[in-house]
Every structure is written in structure tokens, then in C-alpha cells.
Structure 1
Amino acid sequence: MTKVLMVGSAEQSGGGVASVVRLMKGMPFWQKYHCGWLGTQIQRNYGVKLWYALKAYVKALFTIWGYDIVHFHTVPDRICLIIQMPVLLLALLGRKKIIMHVHMGNQLEDHTQNKLFVWCLNRADCVVLLAKKWQNLFETLFPSVKAKTAVIYNACAPTPAVDYSIKEKSIIFAAHLDENKRADLLLQAWKRLCSDFPDWHITIMGNGDVEGYSRLCHDMGLDDCVTFTGYITGKQKDDVWNKASIYCMCSRNEGFPMVVLEAWARGVAVVSTPVGGLPDVIEEGRNCLTFPFDDAEALACQLKRLIESPELRMDIAVYSKAFGERVFAPERVNESVENLYETVLLG
């Protein structure tokens, strides 16, 4: 009987990794391989983080010996790697098969000299990446890493049929507001368009530097057409998503952005930078419109195309929902995970 221990961020932490693991827990492989879960990190104050990690180490010390594979969900961030290190050392001591599931995309290019990250990768039997694009570049970026690689896309949770009749003239942006997510780029693009489309509105969801971006919005004279909701969940979040017609992402760095999968699942047309693993699956003009990084003028042009053409918005929304359900179906991801485990076990 093969048993797998998953290691990563607590589900309460939110974010992409936690969302991926929540979906994995509902897949058939979780029962087939008698998977266990070990949360090593949580988004709380430093005291709670330390206590949470220490409890994980104690649990690992008494339970890791009963597992055959230890499947780490990780990022190259030094703090994350250090927190997971005691569990990795226990897995090495117990001669367990080790999988390093790296939840980053184009950020990997910034970590080629990260010795701790490279050391961890070299302890793995397999490194899992989020897109074929990164698998193809991995050997070039990390020539000293000899572990095998595999690609597993993030899964997209099934959603009900979309009621397109309730869609409003609404553009949404959903992210932790920081310099990487570039909410300011959307504001710059909208400044060019707002006078031509006064009946359209932007909703910016997420925590982070809400105050700073709200101040920028005010200084640009966009208060009447831009709303900041902060971090919202449940029905309030669902209402915003279900009524939205366009989702915009301006990021410079992503792994495989779950928020784009969510937009596709909800029948929302997407405008995005070609970030992270998205180039693997983008079909320009069919499931997405793209624009170059940091180019507010190009973003404004793509938004204008969608705003002026309800037919294009509908075509992209309908095609994207079917595309997402086909390519990122939990059944397909489950098959990929099972193939991964069988390959690792065979050595």
C-alpha cells in the first residue's frame, strides 16, 4: 500500500498553493494513495507561524516513517525553504521518495543562483513544474539539477452554468495589491478610456496596499468609476465575479495563475499579460487577449476591443469556459498526479 505525505502551506493561508491542495484533496488519487497532509506554514503573526511550524515538525517526526513519498509544495523563497527544511531532512533520513512541486513560473529565472533552492531540488526524485514552457527551460536555467521533471497544471474547480444575462458593464481585478500585480497599470489604461465609456466600472478586489492604490486612483480622478472592495469571500465575492464581463491581470510574475482559471470557469473574458505558465494554453483572441508587460497603452487597446464588441466578449467567455473545463478538469489533473507517483515509485 503506497502512502503519500503532502507538505505545504495551511489551507487557511489562502492563495494559489492552498487552493491547489484543497482541490487535490477531493480527487480520487488522495484516497488511492492514502495521502496525508502536513501544513508547515500559515499566514499569521510570527509567533503563530513559529508555533505552527514546530507542531508540524513534531508531527513529521512521528509519522513520516509510514509514508513512501513526500510531496512538497514549495516556492524558491528562502523563508519557505528554511521552514520546510526539517521535514525534508527527515524524508532524506528515512530514504523516502521526494517530489518538489514548485509553484512559480517566470520567477524561476530570478532564482538560478539561489543555492538553497538548488540544493533542495537536487535532493528530489522529481521536480514538478506548472507549465511545459518552464519544463523546457528548466535544464537551461538549472543545469546542475539532475532530477527528472514533470508538468502538472493546476486544476479548476467545476462551476455551475453561467447566467450571461446578469453580466454587467464591469471589469474586475483580483489580486494581493503590490508592485508585481501592477494595479496601477489598469488605472493608467482606464484613465485613457473612462470618458469614452462612462457606463463601465472597475472593481479591484484584494488586500495588500489598498490605501496606496486608492490614493493613486483618487489622484487620477477615477473615484467615480473604480471601487476597491478589499479582501472579500463568499456570496459577496461570487456576486462580483458572476456579474463581471472582463477580468484583467497585469502581473509581471506568476506561476500558473488560479485567478485566470476562475475567470474562465465563470464565463468572464480575460485580458492578461503573457505571464507564468499562461503561454502554454493561451489561444489569442479565443480564450484571452494579451498585452505586453508594463504597456498601459496596449492594455487600453485590448480593453477597448472587448468593451466595444459584446460579440467578442461573449465568444471569448463561452469558449474559455469550455476550454477550462476540458484542459484543467480535476479528472485530468488526477491522472497526471497518479502517473507522477507511479513514475517516482518505479525510480
Structure 2
Amino acid sequence: MCEMSGGKLSVSMFGQKRLSREGGIEIVVKELCTRMVKNGCNITCYNQSGHHISGAEYDEKIEYDKICQKYVPTIEKKGLAAVSSSFFAALYSAFGKYDVVHIHAEGPAFFSWLPKIFGKKVIVTIHGIDWQREKWKSGFGSKFIRQGEKNAVKYADEIIVLSKGVQEYFKDEYGRETKFIPNGVNRPRSQKAELITNKYGLTKDSYILFLGRLVPEKGIRYLVEAYKNIKTDKKLVIAGGGSDTDSFIKELQSLAKDDDRILFTGFVQGQILDELYSNAYIYTLPSDLEGMPLSLLEAMSYGNCCLVSNIPECAEVVEDKALIFEKSNVQDLQNKLQEACDCVEKVMELKQQAADYICKKYNWDDVVKETMKLYRRKR
């Protein structure tokens, strides 16, 4: 049981938009919370108000048994949604009857001082060094997120990091010890190609898949440029929505317009998402920057051969169970894509190893167990 001396442990969580698939943070919070309530915790999630990042058609509010979801005031303008919602979430957490306040991401951690001064135990999970992301590299957003990182170092009782590289960064930059707890993954049931055949004309092993947020640091520019120069009848499917990156999406679509093999699906979820993962020939993540790439874990859990950049956050995950290219190197990515299309035997060999390997290495129950140890650790 997850208990303190006075009874059940009461936990507030914020930093997520809502319990959805809008990003890695949202998936992590959902996986943590649904398991923690089963372990006897009282969980309150302070979510952003307003529309889903990919449009009002995805605004469905999903209720989860025994998880209390509250929606805080949110200014729906670029750069202000996370700031405003995090402030109110921190305020409510500070005045609420919580034993632990668990904050996700560097920006929301700006307000970690607020629950701290009201005597709460504060945990911050760093999902990545967010101020390095292209959309936050200048202006107010960059300064706010960088200060959020510093406030986490100063005020958090415990800091969780998702990769060894980020753990080293906090040690070198701040002399701060952190706890390495990588994300987990669930073993899914593979799906036959049905909806994706009807909607997109896709069949088993007929396409290369990228699935994630359409943001510059994911390396999608390199992927489109490299793919346009390979000889294959396999399509390139780019699945995902933006994140205040409409101009970047238009740039990608312009880059791809002369190649009718390239398909943009927009944001996907549910059965279509499962089918896309289940039937890809290879999954590729050509990122320059990652925290802990959940989409990569998910892709491998479906038994995919994966092609990833050699950044530590990807290489640590796949070890020798995937194809790797030099980050930002379009020619190397092109060569690896062509080799994958030509060498079916190698691809099938990696497919056979992927699911068992990744599901054994990354387990959500282990993540929850280690996280709750930090909740209970004496200050």
C-alpha cells in the first residue's frame, strides 16, 4: 500500500495538458496515476483548460477510476498556456491537503517554490532539457524554462531524470544529484491493417513510419530529404500533430510536395494509431534532441525494426536491437533507409527481437515502484 503515517498518501500532479496522448508527458502522467491509485494513493491531476493541441475534435475528457481531474484557468495563447496553468496548479497544490506535489517538466517547475514554502514535499520530473528545443531558443519562453530548471534544483526535494545524459548534465551544471527512472512501456496486441487500408491505402510492411510531434528537433526535415532520394515503393507516413509549430508543418509539406509517396496523417490515436504501429516496415526517429522517447519504446513494443539517430537518449534505449545513423547527417540517414529497404532479412531479424527486449527492459510497474520510494523518502 502507498501510505503515510496518517493514512493514504495524497499526491498532486501538474505539468501535463490533460490525461491524453498529446505528448510524452501526458502519457507518463496517465500511466503513473492509473497505477498509483491502485496502490492506494489519492491522486489529483491539475490539467490545462482549453482545447486539445491538435484541435477541438480531440477535446474528449476521459475519466479514470479514482483519479480526481481538475481543470485550472489557462490563457490559450502561444507561450502562456503552460505558464498560466502551471501557476494556478502550483497555487492549488500549495493550499491543498497534499503530502507530495509532483511537477512534470522544466517550465512548470518554475513554480516549484510555491508548494515548497507551504511545506509540501516537491518532486520534479525532468522530461528533457526543454530550453534547448528550437521553439524555446529565444525570448521569454527560453528564460522562463531555464529558470524553471534552476528552481527545480533549488526547491525540489527530489529530481527524477529519464536518461543518463540528463543525469550527468545536472551533476556537471549544478552539482545536483538526481534519480534516474526511465519511462516504461506496455506490451500491446498487434492489429491487422484495416482502418489504415481503408483510409490511407496502407498494408502490412508497405510503409516507413514516423510518429510523434511535428517539431524541428525531431529531425523530420532530414527524414523527408533523405527519403526523397531513396529507391523504394514503400511510402513514408508522417503521423502526428504540431505543438505551436504550424509554420514548420507547412515547411515540411512544401518539402514533400513533389513526392506523392509521402503521406501526412495529422494527429492519430486509438485504432488507427495501433494499426500504424502494428504494420510498419520500419519505424524511424531521426531526432536531434529527446528526453526519453516514448514513441520509440512503443514502436519496439509492437515488434518494429527501428532506425534512430545516435543521440544517447535513443542509443541507450535500443542498444544493438535497432539501426542507427549519425544525427543530422542526411546522407547517412539516406544510406540506412536504402539499406533497410533492400535488406529484408536484417529488418525481419530486428523485428523478431524488438518486443521481448523492450518490454523486459522498460516496465511501468517498476517506474511506479521507484517513484513511490521517492515519495516516501524522509526529507
Range into which the TM-score falls when normalised by the shorter chain:
0.7 to 0.9
The CA deviation at 1:99 is 0.9
Q: Confirm or deny: 8 A CA contact 2:94 2:120 kept in the other structure.
A: no
Aligned counterpart, 1:11: 19
In 2, Cα distance between equivalents of 1:149 and 1:339: 14
In 2, Cα distance between equivalents of 1:211 and 1:105: 26
In 2, Cα distance between equivalents of 1:249 and 1:155: 18
Matched, 1:215 2:266: no
Deviations along 1:224-245, one digit per CA (max 9) or x if unpaired, are x111111122222322222111
In 1, Cα distance between equivalents of 2:164 and 2:271: 35
Q: Confirm or deny: 8 A CA contact 2:237 2:265 kept in the other structure.
A: yes
Q: Once superposed, what is the RMSD of the aligned Cα atoms?
A: 3.0
247, 257, 270: which is aligned to 2:306? 270
Distance 1:300 1:70, change over 3 A: same
In 1, Cα distance between equivalents of 2:105 and 2:204: 37
Aligned counterpart, 1:247: 283
SS for the counterpart of 1:98 is strand
Report the TM-score when normalising by structure 1. 0.82
Deviations along 1:78-98, one digit per CA (max 9) or x if unpaired, are xx445xx2xx34422221221
125, 132, 144: which is aligned to 1:101? 125
Aligned counterpart, 1:37: 45
In 1, Cα distance between equivalents of 2:192 and 2:366: 26
Q: Confirm or deny: 8 A CA contact 2:158 2:179 kept in the other structure.
A: yes
Amino acid at match of 1:322: D
5 Å matches for 1:140-179?
140-143=172-175, 146=176, 148-160=177-189, 167-179=204-216
In 2, Cα distance between equivalents of 1:340 and 1:61: 19
Amino acid at match of 1:241: Y
The CA deviation at 1:55 is 6.1
In 2, Cα distance between equivalents of 1:162 and 1:318: 16
Report the TM-score when normalising by structure 2. 0.76
Deviations along 1:217-268, one digit per CA (max 9) or x if unpaired, are 12xx312x11111112222232222211111111111100111011111111
5 Å matches for 1:1-347?
1=7, 2-9=9-16, 10-12=18-20, 14-28=22-36, 31-39=39-47, 46-47=75-76, 49=81, 56=89, 59-60=92-93, 62-63=95-96, 66-75=97-106, 77=107, 80-82=108-110, 85=111, 88-104=112-128, 114-143=146-175, 146=176, 148-160=177-189, 167-194=204-231, 197=232, 199-208=233-242, 209-218=248-257, 221-223=258-260, 225-275=261-311, 277-284=313-320, 286=321, 288-342=322-376, 345-347=377-379
SS for the counterpart of 1:192 is coil
Distance 1:47 1:108, change over 3 A: closer
Q: Which moved more, 1:232-241 or 1:47-56?
A: 47-56
Which structure has more relative contact order (CA 8 Å, sep 6+)? It is: 1
Distance 1:41 1:253, change over 3 A: farther
The CA deviation at 1:72 is 0.9
Amino acid at match of 1:173: F
Distance 1:51 1:185, change over 3 A: closer
Q: Confirm or deny: 8 A CA contact 1:24 1:30 kept in the other structure.
A: no
Deviations along 1:165-198, one digit per CA (max 9) or x if unpaired, are x73231011232232222221122112213xx2x
Q: Which moved more, 1:268-277 or 1:27-36?
A: 27-36
In 2, Cα distance between equivalents of 1:215 and 1:99: 43
Gaps (5+ residues) in structure 1?
Answer: none
SS for the counterpart of 1:154 is coil
Q: How many residues align?
A: 324
Distance 1:149 1:233, change over 3 A: same
Q: Confirm or deny: 8 A CA contact 2:103 2:109 kept in the other structure.
A: no
The CA deviation at 1:108 is 6.5
In 2, Cα distance between equivalents of 1:157 and 1:271: 21
Deviations along 1:87-146, one digit per CA (max 9) or x if unpaired, are x34422221221111110586798899344213321011111001232233211223xx4
